[in-house]
Amino acid sequence: MTANAADFGSAALGAFLRAVGLLALAAGAVLALIFAFAAAVVVGLMITGAAVTMHFWPRRKEAGTDLLEARRTPSGWVVETNAKRNA
């Protein structure tokens, strides 16, 4: 059997389309990796910003944290607070 021109063109076209599909797949994978890297950088910057903010932001005083000293005595516990000290 001999290959005619139509068979050769069909095989060449199929190989070309396969190569173009592989190239498109590779380009899509590269784009996906670029966007994943960019997203990782953005998330890293957000976490870093939150950590820096939490480090320098003043802490909120919660109720009951004005305890200065608590010690046990023979008659029980003695608790000194800002309210007692200022009175």
Return the C-alpha torsion angle 4, 6, 12, 16, nearest 10: 180
* pLDDT tens-place values along the chain, 87 residues long: 555 655 666 888 888 999 999 999 999 999 999 999 999 999 999 999 999 998 888 776 665 566 577 888 898 888 877 655 555
Domain ranges (residues) in the chain? 5-61
Q: Where are the beta strands (DSSP E) in 1-87?
A: 67-73, 76-81
Tokens representing residue 64 in the block:
């009951």
State both tokens at 1: 């059997």
For residue 65, what pLDDT is reported?
60
Signed CA dihedral, 75, 78, 83, 85: sign only: positive
Whole-number pLDDT of residue 7: 61
Instruction: Measure the CA angle with vertex 51, ends 41 and 56; round to 5°.
Output: 140
Q: What is the pLDDT of residue 67?
A: 58
Does the pTM surpass 0.75? The reply is no
